Structure 1
Amino acid sequence: MRVLFRADASLRIGSGHIARCLTLADAITAQGGQADFVCRDHPGHLATWIESRGYEVSLLETETSAHENAAQDSPYASWLAASSIDDARQTINACKSRSYDWTVVDHYAIDSSWHHEIRKHIPKTLVIDDLANRSHEADLLLDQNYHKQQQGRYESWVNQECELLLGPKFSLLRPDFAKHRDVASSHVGASKSKETQTTKGRFNRGFAGEVRADQSRSNQFLSNDGSSDQCMNIMVFMGGMDEHNVTARVIKSLEFAGLESSSHLHVVIGSANPHRELLKAQCDRVRQRNHFEVSLHIQVSEMAKLMSKMTCMIGAGGSNTWERCCLGIPTAVIAVAENQVDVAVQLDETGISQFLGFHRTIQDRELRESLQAFVVDRNSHHRMHQRSRSLVDGLGANRIVGMMNQRTAKIAA
C-alpha cells in the first residue's frame, strides 16, 4: 500500500496537522506500506522534519493571489495559498511519477472539490478533520476528537459511502505512548494524598495564600517504586509553533505560583518556534531568580518518554490532548485557537482536564491564580488521571491502517 499525504504547517497553521500525519505514516510503513508527502512551502513548512523521519516531500510554490476569491467562503481558505482546484492539480502533478492507493488529506481549507479531482487519479481517500463545517468526498473520515454528540456531526457533510471513524479510540499516537502508559501512572500517582483536603471550588476563588499554605502537604507524589517523593515535574507545551507565545505567559505565571524548591519546570517547544531565543532568555532568568529548576526542550524526539515523567501539564488543545490522555497526565488547558475551545470545554465538563480559557480572553491575574490552584490540587489530578487514561489506549493508528489495508486488498481482488 502506497499513500500520499497532503498537509501543511506554517507559523499560522501550526505543526499539529503534520505531526498527526507523520504518526499515521509511521504506522503505515511499520506494516509494510510506503508514504510520501506534498506540502505548500509556507514559512515554517517543516519539510526538513518530515524528511528527517524518512519520507520524501514535494513542496508546492506559494501563490499570493490565486486564493483570494475562495478566501471569502471559509476562514481557512487562505491557508491553502491557492484555489482548491489548482492545489489539487498541483498535487497530482507533483506525484505523477508514482501510483498511489490512498490519499490522506489533513487540511482545513480542502473540501470535496479537491477530493473529487484527486480521486480521478488515486482510488481511495482518507480525510482527517475535526471541524465538520464543509463537504467531503472520501472513503474514510477520521475525527479523533471527543464530542458528547459525535454521531450526526458529519451526516450532511460526507458522501453516503464514507465510513466515519469518530472519537479518541482512533487517536493518532505514536507507539511509544502506549508503551509508557504504566510509567506515567507511577509518576502521577495511583492514589490521592489523604492530607489534601482542599477542593477545586476553594482554589477557583483565587485565595493565593491558602494555595501556598496547602502546597507542602499536597506536593507529595509517588516515585516509580511507590514511595513518597517531593519532586513535582511540570511540563508546559503549547504546541510546536505557539504563534502567540502563550508559553511565555505560562512561565511567568508559574514563576509566582509558589513552587517548591524540588519542583522542575519543563518547557517544550518546536524547532520552528518563532520565539525560541526569547524563551531561552526567559528560562535562564527564571532559573536564576528562583529556587526551582527550569529546562527548555527543543524538538523533543522522545516525547512520550519525557511526558511520562510529568506530574501534571499545562498545554494547548489539539493533537497533544490525546497524548496526554493516553498517559493519564492531569492537564490545565489553554486554547490557542478558536477551534480548540469546544473540545476543551467538553473535556472539562467530564473531568478529563481543566479548561482555563481562550488565550486572548484570559487575563494574566486569572491565569496566575488558576495555575497556582491547579498545580497543587491533588484531588483533581487523581480524577483527571483516571478519567483521561480510560479514554485513549494509544492503538488508534494501527486500527486505521488495518482498515486501509482491508480496503486496498478489496481493490486488488
Structure 2
Amino acid sequence: MKALIRADAAIEIGMGHRVRCQALASAFERLGWMCQFVVHHRYRQFASDHDLLIDCEDDLLPLAGQADLVILDHYGYQADDIARVFHSQPNLLVIDDMNDRGTFPAKWLVNPLNQAYSSQVVMPLIGGQYALLRPSFSQHYSESIPPDRLLVTLGGTDPLALTLPLLKALEKAKFSLDKVQVMLGKNARNSAEVLAYCEEKHIVCLQGVSDVTPLMRQARMAISAAGGTLFELACMGVPTVFAQVAENQTRSLEQHVPLAWCDTVRFDDVNERQRAERIEHLIRLVMIYWQDDSWLTKARQVAQRLVDGKGADRVAKTVHQEFLGMMQCH
C-alpha cells in the first residue's frame, strides 16, 4: 500500500511538518507501507531525492487518486482545499494544530491537542498520546546522572534568529555558560555567527543533530521554540521556557502553560525593539525557574505524563487496521 505525504519545509515554514511526517512515515513503513513526500518545487532545497515535486496544489489531486492514502500536513490548505483532496482520495489523514480552518471532511485527523472537530471527521485521533515523535522518544532511560544543563534550541530554522541574542542575554545575566548546550538546526539562521560565539565563549554547540534525545536527557531546563519540539521536551520531562515564534504555536501553548511544566514569551507579534525587551524577560524567567528545585521536580513529572513518544505508531496502526478491515470486506 502507498501513502502520499503533502508537507513542505523551509526557513519561513520551519522543519516541524517534515519532521513529524517523517516520524509517521517511518511508522507506516514498519507496517509494510511505501511512503513518498509531495513537495512544492519552490521548497525543493529542503526535499529529498525521492520526493515528488509539484508546481501547484492542483497537481496533488491526480496523484492522490492513484495512492491508497494521503497524509496532509499543510497550513495552506483551507477547508475547501481539504474537501477537494478528500473528493480525490477519501482515505485522507489531516494533521492539524490550530483547528482554525473551518469544517472539512477527513477519514482521520491527528491533533496532539484536545480540540473538537465536526462529524465530517470520521476518526479524530486527538490528544498528547498522538503526538508524532521519532522512535527514539519512546525508549525509556534510567537517569544515572541528574540533568544539569540548559538546552537552547530554536527549532530547525530559527526563523527569527533568536539563538544568538538569547545566548548574549544569558551571558549578561551572568548565567553559567558552561551549563549551556546549544542545538542548532541544519538550516538555522545566523548559524555561522552562533557557532563563532559559542566557540569564543566555550559553549557546547551542536548542529544538525539526528538524535536529540541524549541532549534532552542532560537538560535540567530548556529554552525552545514551541513547535513540535514542545512535545519532544514534554516526553523527555524537560521544564521549558518557550519562545513563541509563529502564530500556529498559540493553541499548544494555551493548553500546556496552564499545566505548569512550562512558560512562554511571545516573539512573532512584536518589532525588533520589543523583541529585545522580551528576550530580557525570557531570561529573567529562566533564572527564576532554574533556582526553583521544587518547581522543576513537579514540572518534570507533569511533562512526562503528557506524552509517551508512541503517537506515530498509534496513528499508523489505527489506519493500517482500518485498511485491513476494508480489504477483508472486499
Instruction: Give the TM-score of the pair, scaled to structure 1.
Output: 0.72
Q: Secondary structure at the match of 1:5?
A: strand
1:362-373 counterparts in 2 under 5 A? 363=277, 364-373=279-288
In structure 2, which of residues 109, 114, 120 is the aligned counterpart of residue 141 of structure 1?
A: 109
Q: Which runs of 5+ in 2 are unaligned?
A: none
> Across the two proteins, how many residue pairs are aligned to each other?
321
Indicate if the aligned counterparts of 2:108 and 2:124 stay in contact, CA closer than 8 A: yes
Q: Deviations over 1:116-159 (max 9, x none)?
A: 433454340000011111232210111112x4xx3x3x23xx61
> Is 1:25 aligned to residue 35 of structure 2?
no
Indicate if the aligned counterparts of 1:270 and 1:299 stay in contact, CA closer than 8 A: yes
Indicate if the aligned counterparts of 2:90 and 2:107 stay in contact, CA closer than 8 A: no
Which residue of structure 2 aligns with residue 59 of structure 1? 53
Q: 2: distance between equivalents of 1:112 and 1:392?
A: 29
> Is 1:101 aligned to residue 56 of structure 2?
no
Which residue of structure 2 aligns with residue 132 of structure 1? 99
Q: 1: distance between equivalents of 2:94 and 2:241?
A: 29
Offset of residue 369 of structure 1: 1.9
Indicate if the aligned counterparts of 1:9 and 1:42 stay in contact, CA closer than 8 A: no
Q: Secondary structure at the match of 1:172?
A: coil
Indicate if the aligned counterparts of 1:6 and 1:105 stay in contact, CA closer than 8 A: yes
Q: Secondary structure at the match of 2:307?
A: coil
Q: Which structure features the higher share of helix residues?
A: 2
Which residue of structure 1 aligns with residue 248 of structure 2? 339
The alignment's C-alpha RMSD in Å is 2.3
Q: 2: distance between equivalents of 1:131 and 1:341?
A: 8
Indicate if the aligned counterparts of 1:234 and 1:264 stay in contact, CA closer than 8 A: yes
Amino acid at match of 1:272: N
Indicate if the aligned counterparts of 1:5 and 1:36 stay in contact, CA closer than 8 A: yes
Which residue of structure 1 aligns with residue 141 of structure 2? 182
Which residue of structure 2 aligns with residue 172 of structure 1? 132
1:301-312 counterparts in 2 under 5 A? 301-312=210-221
> Is 1:391 aligned to residue 306 of structure 2?
yes
> Is 1:90 aligned to residue 90 of structure 2?
no
> Is 1:259 aligned to residue 253 of structure 2?
no
Q: 2: distance between equivalents of 1:162 and 1:249?
A: 46
Q: Secondary structure at the match of 1:411?
A: helix
> Is 1:4 aligned to residue 7 of structure 2?
no
Which residue of structure 1 aligns with residue 15 of structure 2? 15
Q: Secondary structure at the match of 2:77?
A: coil
Offset of residue 412 of structure 1: 1.8
In structure 1, which of residues 327, 352, 364 is the aligned counterpart of residue 261 of structure 2?
A: 352
Indicate if the aligned counterparts of 2:245 and 2:266 stay in contact, CA closer than 8 A: no
> Is 1:298 aligned to residue 224 of structure 2?
no
User: Between Structure 1 and Structure 2, whose CA radius of gyration is higher?
Assistant: 1
Offset of residue 44 of structure 1: 7.2
> Is 1:313 aligned to residue 222 of structure 2?
yes
> CA separation of 1:106/1:45 partners in 2, compared to 1, >3 Å: closer, same or farther?
farther
**370-379 or 233-242, larger mean C-alpha shift:** 370-379
The percent identity for this pair of structures is 26
Which residue of structure 1 aligns with residue 237 of structure 2? 328
Offset of residue 331 of structure 1: 0.9
Q: 2: distance between equivalents of 1:366 and 1:120?
A: 48
Amino acid at match of 2:323: T
> Is 1:410 aligned to residue 325 of structure 2?
yes
Q: Deviations over 1:186-227 (max 9, x none)?
A: 2xxxxxxxxxxxxxxxxxxxxxxxxxxxxxxxxxxxxx16xx
Amino acid at match of 1:130: D
Q: Deviations over 1:246-297 (max 9, x none)?
A: 1122211222333347x3322112212232212112222332xxxxxx1221
Amino acid at match of 2:242: V
Offset of residue 45 of structure 1: 4.7
Q: 2: distance between equivalents of 1:164 and 1:4?
A: 20
Which residue of structure 1 aligns with residue 191 of structure 2? 276
Q: 2: distance between equivalents of 1:120 and 1:330?
A: 43
Which residue of structure 2 aligns with residue 241 of structure 1? 157
Instruction: Give the TM-score of the pair, scaled to structure 2.
Output: 0.89
Q: 1: distance between equivalents of 2:84 and 2:252?
A: 32
